[in-house]
Structure 1
Amino acid sequence: MTGGRLRTWAGLVVLCMGGAGLGTAFAQTPLTLEDAIRRAQGDTSDARALASSIEEAHARIQRAQAGYWPRVDLAETIQRGNQPVYVFSSLLSQRRFTAANFAIPELNHPDPITNTRTVVSLEQPVYNAGLTRLGVQAATLERDLATATRDTARQDLGFRAAQAFVRVLQLEANVRAADAAVTAAESDRQRAHARREVGLVTDADVLAVDVQLADMRQRHIAAAGDLDVGRLQLAEAVGLPLTASIVPIRPASRPAPADGDALVQEALTRHPQLLQSSIQLQLAENARRTARAGLLPTVSLQGGWEFNGATLGAQQSSWVFGAEVRVNVFRGFADSARTTEAKHAHARAIAERERVERRIELGVRGALTQFAAARAREEAGRTALRQARESQRIIRDRYEGGLATVTDVLRAAEAALEAESRATNADMDVILQTVALERALGRI
């Protein structure tokens, strides 16, 4: 093969490899922590289910507002029989009653008659002690409660996505650490073999290094498998296809918050759980007013048009209008029990609001403490990692000089890997505690 053809084939191979790399790069999905939270709160099936609950609440408001409008019913019946009262009333309704129908035999043993009856009825509430208005207010409060409940659930969805996001970052760091540990173990193995060749170490030392290398490779395989599962869980949490190649982007470090009291006050003004308890209190007050309104009279207008005839084409019309006043005199003490129930429910809602306020303050102050502890662990972990790596370097140099055993080398390698794992966990915990603080403040 000539040099020109060789260069051509080499160029084609490089081009194909580059194209494959570009295809892989284009298939990857970069994802920031903010995007993960936003997608979890809006692009998942759980988020869509929460949105549907708000639409349900809107429909309940419209249903409650129907009490302001008149009720109109249309009924069509066809009957046939010779029951005396039925025949008598049907003939009157059809305006076909004659003097002959007063005959005693005719009254007692009438001939069968068919009656087609069309009724249009109307009822318009005029006064019901504000029950319709209270019902609309209750439905509106329930809509607001559904919104606050949705916001609380959205916080849970966002935090779950953040946990999955941080988990993938942590597993990626574990894979990198395991890969570095394998590389270091391979280097130690080569060094041990070289020393055995010159008679400085025994076969037992080489075998111990081989066991260490096998263990590091097993850890690398396990870490890679955990990372694949973590990516699947992250894709599910943010509503992406499970086959998506997600590349999480590590968020920038945030400064520690200074004024805890100011953060508590912020949470007490915006947290959705506090809004929920406030709406529950308003609903309890609405129930108290509704219970009292049930003791008052109601007034309504009623009317109807009626058409009766032997056939539809022969019907005769009639109408009736009137008003009804209904007074609640006695219902077996149900009204007093309902009033007592509403009173205690209102007291319970007040206590619940106080409990939520204290729980929110506890959550904020606890999140601040956990954030500060995570920052301290992060710094301590980095320091310990630097020391472990330096100790590993020194022991390797001592091993080269014959001043340390292979056991010292293996122990130092294990200590360095453990220190890196703790440092990674502390580093990821800072990110997660940052999201936890945002959740405690009601910001996500």
Structure 2
Amino acid sequence: MTLVAAAFAAVALLASPVEAQSIPLSLGDAIREADQRAFSNRITAASTAADRARARLPLNRILPSARIEAGVVRTTDPIGAFGTTLRQRLVTPAAFESVKLNFPSAVTNAQGALVLDVPLLNGDAWLGLRAARAATEASEAAGKWAAVSIRADVVRAYYGAILAEAKAGVLAQAQQAADAGVRQVRAMVARGLVTKSDALQASVRASDVAAQLLSARSDALSARQQLALLLGRTGGALPTLPGALPDDAAVIALAAHDSAATEATVDATAATTESRDDVRAAHAGVTAAWADRRRAASTLLPRVNGFARYDWNDPRTVFAGQKNWTVGVMASWSLFGGNTELADVAATTARVNAARAGLDAARAHSQLERDDAARRLTLSLQRLTLARDAADQSREAHRLVQKRYDGGLATIAELLAAESASTGASLAQAAARYAVIDAIATWRRASGGDPAALTALDSSITTTR
């Protein structure tokens, strides 16, 4: 290889997306990769972890706290100076002289202390803790729902990319057939068996197929890039995919199992809807809002807290000199705080109403999604049956027209129309098969199931590219 050729090869390698692996990626591996690396999953997981950490903040007014204090103070304040001398146990009869009491010399105090605060009765803190924990449950449920939605998106993107590759493959075969037809017709024109217009029509058909193939290959590359983005891959690493969609029998068998579940009773439907993580998140949101409203109301009640101190006071050294201790219990009751408490109660009451409305909306939306998914699943199965029959019939029609054309009983227009219909029917069958897969993933998500169940189709996929 010359240096110029090597340079062009290097540029082409850098310009093209990187293949992530030579072994085709299975749907199961794709879902596991998305669970760990998908951008939205990572963001949601971090957000949930932050909410879980924030839920522990109310503990600072529930659990005892201990701290160490140390400081040095120098003062000429009469009360401060005398009090400091008294704390240091250095008071003498001379300290009571009026001049020294009124105009004391500067006194230095090095103070050290161990302080223990013991909350005894703080209703707002306990209710705030409950509200925070319920909010964390809502965040966790929302995170699970987001992960389930990502799994459904991975199923669609994975098989959508395979469908795009399969479409390009069908069109590549169609182009080969069209090019062979052009060569055959031109040979027949040379022998005077057909007219030149037949050759022109065949060339037009071949050009049309070639244009479709270019578009299909571009779409296939875009689909693989979208899948890589959904999986959380960076640096242009594209997945290697199987060469075909699962066969009709496997897809229909899995869809038939889910289709039977769409005949559930109303009670079972309601139970399924309530099991969805987005509805569970809305439930937890209502619980959190109620707890927060009770927390706001409890701020109108008294609070009781205890404390204990152990102090050292010395003119020069921290934690030296004479020691003393103090213990106590303090009750406080805020009778009026500038309407702050009442405003908090009103705001939290409004949030309860909003959370209830959100729960009603989540239930209604989930029911709508479930019903729509059930209809889509049934419809997609019916359309796949029709598309499969149409593909078989179009292939047989193409074979018969080809046979008639070879015998001089059909025109080139008839042959090209039959060939175009056969190609279109094959693509429509693949699209209908993908629509069933999409409907299964949608149904699984809408009914509170796991779209990862479609990994059962991995065993029915041809792994050759």
- Fold match, TM over 0.5? yes
* Equivalent pair of 1:30/1:249 in contact (CA under 8 Å): no
Name the structure 2 match of 1:165. Answer: 158
User: Which stretch shows the higher mean deviation, 309-318 or 160-169?
Assistant: 309-318
Q: Which residue in the other structure is 1:17 paired with?
A: none
Change over 3 Å in CA distance of 1:243–1:291 after alignment to 2:
closer
1:299 aligns with 2:304: yes
List per-residue Cα deviations over 1:198-248 (Å, max 9, x = no partner). 123344432332343233234334323432332333344345682442327
Q: 1:363 to 1:260 in 2, by over 3 A?
A: farther
Q: Secondary structure at the match of 2:241?
A: strand
Q: Is the 8 A contact 1:116 1:315 kept in 2?
A: no
1:69 aligned residue: 63
Q: Are residue 210 (structure 1) and residue 203 (structure 2) matched?
A: yes
CA distance in 2, matches of 1:243, 1:170: 16
**Residue 309 of structure 2 is aligned to residue 288 of structure 1:** no
- TM-score with structure 2 setting the length: 0.81
Q: 1:380 aligns with which of 364, 383, 386?
A: 386
CA apart distance, 1:109: 3.9
Larger Rg: 1
* Closer/same/farther in 2, CA of residues 324 and 305 from structure 1, 3 Å limit: same
When residues 82 and 67 of structure 1 are mapped into structure 2, their CA distance, relative to the original with a 3 A threshold, is closer
The reply to whether residue 126 of structure 1 matches residue 120 of structure 2 is yes
Contact 2:282 2:355 in 1 (8 A): yes
Identity %: 25
Which whole-Å CA distance do the structure 1 matches of 2:363 and 2:445 have between them? 15
Match of 2:179 in 1: 186
Tell me which of 13, 24, 28 is aligned to 2:23: 28
- Report 1:5-154 matches (<5 A): 27-32=22-27, 34-128=28-122, 130-154=123-147
**Aligned residue in 1 for 2:223:** 230
Structure 1: which 4+ aligned runs deviate by more than 6 Å? none
> Quick one: which amino acid aligns to residue 298 of structure 2?
A
Q: CA deviation at 1:379?
A: 1.9
Instruction: Confirm or deny: 8 A CA contact 2:175 2:206 kept in the other structure.
Output: yes
Shift in CA distance, 29/410, structure 1 to aligned 2, threshold 3 Å: closer
**Contact in 2 for aligned 1:192/1:206 (Cα 8 Å):** yes
Q: Partner residue of 2:314?
A: 309
Q: What is the SS of the residue equivalent to 1:28?
A: coil
User: 1:278 corresponds to which residue?
Assistant: 283
1:39-85, CA deviations, whole angstroms, 9 ceiling, x for partnerless residues?
42345454344444444444344443443322222221112343444
Match of 1:247 among 229, 239, 242: 242
Secondary structure of the structure 1 residue equivalent to 2:113 = strand
Per the TM alignment, residue 178 of structure 1 is displaced from its structure 2 partner at its CA by: 0.6
- Distance in 1, matches of 2:163 and 2:173, equals 15
Matched residue, 2:339: 333
What is the count of residue pairs matched by the alignment?
A: 418
Deviation at 1:164, TM superposition (A): 0.9
Show structure 2 runs of 5+ residues with no match. Answer: 1-18, 451-465
TM-fit CA distance, 1:275: 0.7
Partner of 1:407: 413
8 Å Cα contact 2:302-2:332 kept in structure 1: yes
Instruction: Give, as a single letter, the amino acid of the residue that structure 2 aligns with 1:418.
Output: G
TM-score by length of 1: 0.84
Determine if contact 2:165/2:243 at 8 Å carries over to the other structure.
Answer: no
Report if the CA contact (8 A) 1:37-1:159 is conserved. no
CA contact (8 A) 1:36 1:158 kept: no
Structure 2 counterpart of 1:425: 431
